[in-house]
Amino acid sequence: MIVKVRKIGNSVGVLLSKAIVEQCSIKDEVSLEVKGNTIVIHPVTTKPREGWKEQFLQAGSLEDKEILLGEFHNTFDKDEWTW
């Protein structure tokens, strides 16, 4: 399928047909990847940091602890900072 490249401000873009969007299950976001001179578009289907815990456990860097980046405890704001 050949589509026109459209100027959008200082950028350019292409329009995806409704059929393509539905076939690829594209919702609100896509992931773009450049391979050589090819642009690959993937629908975003995962949540940020999804599967990290399992990967850290598999790599041995978490050692069955429940500490993840989203659960970091910062005592500086409570104990040392004066508002």
Picking from 5-9, 11-15, 60-64, which range would have the lowest pLDDT averaged per residue? 60-64
CA angle 17, 23, 27 (to 5 degrees): 80
Q: What is the pLDDT of residues 9-46, one digit of tens each?
A: 999 999 999 999 999 999 889 999 999 999 999 998 77
The domains of the chain are located at: 28-70
3-class SS of residue 46: coil
- Amino acid at the residue 22: E
Q: Which residue is listed with tokens 């975003």?
A: 44
CA dist list (Å): 18 to 14, 23, 25, 36, 40: 13, 8, 10, 27, 18
pTM of the model: 0.49
Per the prediction, the chain carries an average pLDDT of: 82
The pLDDT assigned to 45 comes to 78
